[in-house]
Every structure is written in structure tokens, then in C-alpha cells.
Structure 1
């Protein structure tokens, strides 16, 4: 049975970049709004009413998340200068991120892209502290206090955003800055990524420890759950970043092709190596030996690197269990045709269009000699075109 999953929705499109929103973001917006309103109401008790506090909370929330979008747009703008397209900006419960279509080719490009977000946040902080001064000098007395506090909160929020992101550990911007520095010195991006990954994993353990501390000593389950969840996300993202670069390094060693030279192509987003099955394998062997370990809906069928077809679980379900021993993969696979594969050097746009017209919503990826090198699913390419 297919699992139910809420997909993000598009809130806007900024300079051609989709601004996508996870439903978890709506939850944190409400938290920002409510806490902002209540904290300000307590700070100004006796001087303002509930309505003014709610307006304050709403304006603060909108401007703070606008600041987060500006932070991510800075990454996207510099990435574009480096020839890398931004697929989307995603807002979620812990902030946001810009998803790029490829990786920087040089350490200096990595540095420029990574540092752009924190620089933008520091600049916004400077703008808001300037607004505090202007408000103090020129704003009408009736709104001076509220405006001053609003801009002061936004100053603190942007500086905190920049400082947190500069912590040297993946997947944070500071981790990418550190990787760029180590990469520039050693000329080895994989070794640099390993160091940044280890620091990122260490950071995740510290965040989780803080969550446990809050739970035990302050009996604060909300903050504890948030911190432990954040720690899990940080650890997973750091490990996936290293895994991706390890895959690139292994593929380059095997083929002599540098994936970083193929920005915007299928090679940068495909799953490598693909989980494939031989055409003569019995269905019982496939289910016990492969499906039990790899939970995916489609498997390229190949022998000696040559693509023979695609095995879809939907078609496999039609085979009675009593026939699993005598039925082989070739009997139930979709035979290879042009709709089942895409060249690794094809553009992401081409792959997206082909995937949409594919009956299986899954593609095998082949190199220039027709050898199977990867796979591509609809989930990996959603909203890329």
C-alpha cells in the first residue's frame, strides 16, 4: 500500500525560482505569531492591548520569514553567477534551504555560494538596526515603542540566523565554508566533506543533548522534541551530503567522468549505483534477496551493464505466490524501449518531460556506450522543470 505523504505547495515564484512550503512550516508560523504576540504583550504589560500585540506578532512573523527567504535567495543569486540553477527554495519547520541543480566546480565557488546567505542576514540585521535608530529619532510617539521593538527583534533574529548558520558543520553554511577552505588547501573535496560531516554530526549530538537537558531539568517536552528532531535532521543531512560526494568520487574513479562538469544534467541527480536485477533471476530470489533490502517500486533489469527492461512491483503483484519459484524476472518485466531510459548527459528538463510521459514514472540512466549507470524517479525530479 502506498504511504500517504503531504507534498509541499508553491507559495510564490521569485525570479523564476519556485518558493515551496512544507506543511510543517505553517505550524512554526503559528508558533512565531503566538509567541511573538504573547512575549511582547508581557514585556509591555499595562501599556498595550491584545490587538496591538497580535498585530506586532503578525508583522514580526511575516518580516522574519521574509528575511529567511532573502537569506536563501542570496545563495540562489550567487549560485546563478556560478552557472548553477536553483530548483526551488523550500520553507520548513526549521527555516529553509535553496535546492541547487548541481554542485560548485571549485572551492572558491563553494565559498561564495555558502557565505552569501549569512552575509545577506548580517546586512539585513544592519538595515534593521538602522531602522531602530531612525524610529527613535523620527517616528511618531504613538507608534515609536512598537516600531522600535519590532526592528530590534528583527535585528536580533537576522544576526542569530547568520551566526547559527556559520557554525562549522554540515549541512549548515558554516560547514560548507569550512569544506571550501579545506578543499582549497588539500584539493580533495571528499576529504574536506568528511571533516565537515563529522563536525556536523557532532553538532547534531550537542543539539540532541540540549534537548534531553531541557526535558530532564526544565520539564520542557516541547523544546526537547524540537531540539531532538532538529538534531536528527542535521545528522541525516550531513551524512547524505557526504554520501553524495562519495558517490561522485567513486563514479569518477570508475568512469573517468567528473560529475561536477555535468551541472544541470541527469548525472547530477540520478541514483548511483542503481539497484538492478538480472533478467534470469527467479521472482522468489528477487523478493527474498533484493526487495527485502531495497524498498522501491521499480528496478532496472540488466546483465553485464546492458539494460533489458524494468521490473515494476505493480506488475509483480499479479504473479501468484505459488508461481514465484518458476517465474523469472524476464517474464514479468517491461521490455526495454525508448520510454524507459535517459542518457546521463541529458538535461534535467529533458528528463523531467520524459519522466512525465513515462508509463512507469521511473527511468534507467545510461552512459554514452549504453551501459546502465543510474536510475531516476519522479520523486527526485518533482518541480525541476
Structure 2
């Protein structure tokens, strides 16, 4: 669910975020109950809501700092997504250098530490040196959110890739390993998996030997971290390999085109059935003007397929993301990820208006498989 846009970055809220807000609110209310005698239910609810919202805003600040620095480093950040485990900035590509990686990764935890420290200073300096007494709800909120943000900053600095601290570790390894990003990622990923499995083991220890149900949360986070570390390696390898290719080397060159003026039934009979392809370029006067995909054909009722022409249901060039033939392959991947219309397809041009071919996810998979033959 989109909740806003900041500096061109879409802010999305997944429904699972409500779980973490609820948990933070519950623990904040318990924390308040330890400091205030006989609090009312209304006070506990207010404390829970306030702290849940403040933590969400703190995570937003954390992710925005990642995103702003990434933008300063020349990278595109289409959106930030909140979900069960916090937030994630969707940065479309790997950093361009070890220093770029370090700055982007480190700024998030540092911002959390600054927020936490500022909240604690706002609580203790006035109360100790100016003898100001805060209302209970405000005092407990400043204390709890201060501690929570500092804990968030410290936790994110753990060298567990792909967490922020793990990315700081990767930036160091990247620099030390002669700028070999793949080797640095593999090493950082192993460390991340060890941390993840360690958290899983500790969570089970808490549950079965200490009787703490909270250990389940540690198991879930650890398992998620270990799997994320594995996926991050695959993602990095894919991006590095694609960056070494050109878009024109990945595209599917179609030797069969569908005329725009024929009917849908004719397209099915003369093209889809004999060639068994998911889509075809559509041409008029020997120029490619769009594509006809099987999904579009499927939406037309059988009784109307003799009347509807291909040009009426085709996807026009203007609606298909475009990449220049000599641009790196990772640009194609970025455009595919951002494509809003399914199925996702990118057209490859000669830099002007001529369409040279198309790329979909299957073409990227094939290009990667071929690239392994030369690695």
C-alpha cells in the first residue's frame, strides 16, 4: 500500500508492518507499566500507539538516509517498503565502489544511533541539570524510544550480510580483494549465514532451555537472515554478469512478425499455434509498432476474435520500457523490475526509433546460462 512519496521515492506499507507496530506497542506498554504504578488501560493504549508510530518514523528516517546517500552516489531508489522485519530501500543496482557501499550502508545505523542519543539527551539533560519533570507518558516514551533506536543502530551494525553491518564488511573486503565484488559478497554472505544460524540456535536455546517464547522471534529473524544472505550472493552475481553484457546481446530477435491489420483469430491460427510463442512483434509498413502477447489474446471472448484486430489489443511501443542496444544488461533488468504491466517486457532500440528486439525474464535467464560457459 502506497502511503506517500519523498524525493521521488515511493513509500509502501505492507500489511505485515502492523505486526511489528503492535509488538512494539505491547512492549512499550509493559515498559510503561514497570515505571508507573497502577496505569489506566487508556494510558497503556496511548503509550503503545505513540511508541509504535515513533518507531515506524524512526525506521523511515533510517531508510531515507540510505536512499538519500544512494541518490547522491548516482543510484536510483524507486521505493522504500515497510514489512514485518522493518524497512528496506529498493536500490536498483550494486554500489559503484567500495567507498560508495560503505557510505550507503553506514549512514542508516548511524542515523538510528543519533536519533536514539538525541531522545535520551532530551530526557536526561533537562531532568538532571534543569530539574524539569516530564509527564510520565513523555518520559517513558523518550526513554523507551531512545533505547530502541540505539539498539536498532547497534543491531544493524552487526557484520551479518545483507544487513547494514554486513555491507560495511563487504565494502572492506571489496577493497581488499582487488575490487572483486563477487568474491567479497561470497565471503560476507558466509559470515551473514553464520550469524543467521547462530541466531536460530540461540532462539531454540531460549525456547527449550529457558522457557522464553521470545526465542521464536530470534529463530524467525535468524532464518530470514541466513536465506537473505544466500539470495544476495545470487543477486550480486547476476547483476555483475549482466553488467558485462550489452542489451543487444540479450534480446530475442524475432524473424516472425504479426501484421497489425489481421484479426485475433488469424493471429492465433497463423502465428501462436504453429510457432508456440508467448508474444510476437506487431508490424505495420515494415515497422515494429508494438507486441501481441498471448495474455491479451486470452482476454478476448471467442465470439469476438473474428471481429477484433491485432492493432486494437496490442501493447504499443510507448507502453513498453525501452533500453538502448549498447546499454549494459543490468539496465534491462532494472527496467524489467520496474515494469508495471504484466507480462514484463523491455524493447531494445538502436538509440532512435527502430526496434531491434525484445527481452523478457526468460531471455535474461538464457543470457545468464550462456555467460556461465565463458566464466
TM-score (norm 1): 0.68
Write the distance in 2 (CA, Å) between the matches of 1:81 and 1:129: 30
Q: Deviation at 1:193? A: 0.6
Residue number in structure 2 paired with 1:194: 186
Check if 1:215 corresponds to 2:215: no
Residue number in structure 2 paired with 1:152: 143
Write the distance in 2 (CA, Å) between the matches of 1:364 and 1:338: 10
Q: Deviation at 1:275? A: 11
| Unaligned stretches of 5+ residues in structure 1 | 1-8, 258-266, 287-297, 319-333, 378-385
Q: Does the 8 Å contact 2:77/2:92 carry over to 1?
A: yes
Q: Deviation at 1:14? A: 2.5
Q: Deviation at 1:168? A: 0.9
Residue number in structure 2 paired with 1:106: 97
Q: Deviation at 1:160? A: 0.8
Check if 1:29 corresponds to 2:15: no
Write the distance in 2 (CA, Å) between the matches of 1:87 and 1:148: 37
Q: Does the 8 Å contact 1:80/1:86 carry over to 2?
A: yes
Residue number in structure 2 paired with 1:238: 229
Q: Does the 8 Å contact 1:34/1:57 carry over to 2?
A: yes
Write the distance in 2 (CA, Å) between the matches of 1:208 and 1:31: 20
Aligned length: 316
Q: Deviation at 1:22? A: 0.7
Instruction: Map 1:175-186 to 2 at 5 A.
Output: 175-186=166-177
Q: Does the 8 Å contact 1:300/1:364 carry over to 2?
A: no
Q: Does the 8 Å contact 2:58/2:112 carry over to 1?
A: yes
1:55 to 37, 46, 51: 46
The structure with more radius of gyration? 2
Q: Does the 8 Å contact 1:342/1:351 carry over to 2?
A: yes
**What SS is found at the alignment partner of 1:181?**
helix
Residue number in structure 2 paired with 1:321: none
Root mean square deviation of aligned Cα? 4.1
Write the distance in 1 (CA, Å) between the matches of 2:222 and 2:252: 30
Q: Does the 8 Å contact 1:310/1:340 carry over to 2?
A: no
Residue number in structure 1 paired with 2:114: 123
Q: Deviation at 1:122? A: 1.2
